Amino acid sequence: MKITSLTNAKVKQWSKYKEKKYREIDKKFLIEGEHLLQEAHKEGLIECVISVEENTSWDMYEHYEITSDIMKKLSSSVSGSNIMALCHYSEQKETYGKKIIILDDVQDPGNLGTIIRSALSFGYDSIILSKGCADVYNEKVIRSTQGACFHIPVFRKDLQEVLTDFKQQGIAVYGTALKNAIDLQELKVKTPYAFVFGNEGQGVSQGILNRCDKLVKIEMETFESLNVAVAAGICMYTCNH
Amino acid sequence: MKITSLTNAKVKQWSKYKEKKYREIDKKFLIEGEHLLQEAHKEGLIECVISVEENTSWDMYEHYEITSDIMKKLSSSVSGSNIMALCHYSEQKETYGKKIIILDDVQDPGNLGTIIRSALSFGYDSIILSKGCADVYNEKVIRSTQGACFHIPVFRKDLQEVLTDFKQQGIAVYGTALKNAIDLQELKVKTPYAFVFGNEGQGVSQGILNRCDKLVKIEMETFESLNVAVAAGICMYTCNH
Sequential DSSP letters for B32-56: ESHHHHHHHHHTT-EEEEEESS--G
Q: Which residues on A lie below 8 Å from B229 (Cβ)?
A: 114, 227, 229-230
Structural domain boundaries in chain B = 2-88, 99-239
Burial of A114 (0-12, 13-18, 19+ CB in 10 A): buried
Distance CA B113, CA B96 (A): 19
Residues on A contacting B at a C-beta cutoff of 8 Å: 110, 114, 117-118, 120-123, 144, 146, 148, 151, 185, 218-227, 229-234, 237-238, 240-241
Nearest-Cα residue of chain A relative to residue B121? A223
Phi and psi, residue A44, nearest 5° = 65, 35
pLDDT in tens, A42-76: 999 999 999 998 888 899 999 999 999 999 999 98
Which residues on adjacent β-strands are paired with residue B84?
B32, B50
Residues on B contacting A at a C-beta cutoff of 8 Å: 110, 114, 117-118, 120-123, 144, 146, 148, 151, 185, 218-227, 229-234, 237-238, 240-241
Q: Are residues B180 and B215 in contact, defined by beta-carbon separation less than 8 angstroms?
A: yes
Q: What percent of chain A has pLDDT over 90?
A: 89
Which residues on adjacent β-strands are paired with residue A217?
A183
SS3 assignment, position B131: coil
User: What pLDDT is attached to residue B4?
Assistant: 94
Chain-chain contact of A122 with B220 (C-beta, under 8 angstroms): yes
Element (H, E) at B206: helix B206-209
Which residues on adjacent β-strands are paired with residue B86?
B30, B48
Residue A106 Cα to chain centre, angstroms: 10
CATH superfamily ID and name for B2-88:
Ribosomal protein L30/S12 (3.30.1330.30)
Mean pLDDT of the B91-113 span: 94
Check whether B79 has a pLDDT greater than 80.
Answer: no
pLDDT in tens, B175-187: 999 889 999 999 9
- Amino acid at the residue B2: K
Q: How far is B58 from chain A (nearest CA, A)?
A: 23
Q: What is the DSSP letter of B190?
A: -
Which residues on adjacent β-strands are paired with residue A126?
A100
Q: Mean pLDDT across chain A, nearest whole number?
A: 94
pLDDT in tens, B38-63: 999 999 999 999 999 888 889 999 99
Pick the CATH number of A99-239 from 3.40.1280.10, 3.10.105.10, 3.30.450.40, 3.40.718.10: 3.40.1280.10
Distance CA B228, CA B124 (A): 17
- Quick one: residue A144, left, alpha or beta (phi over 0 = left, psi -120 to 50 = alpha)? alpha
User: What pLDDT is attached to residue B142?
Assistant: 96
Chain-chain contact of A233 with B230 (C-beta, under 8 angstroms): yes
Check whether A80 has a pLDDT greater than 80.
Answer: no
Distance CA B37, CA B147 (A): 8
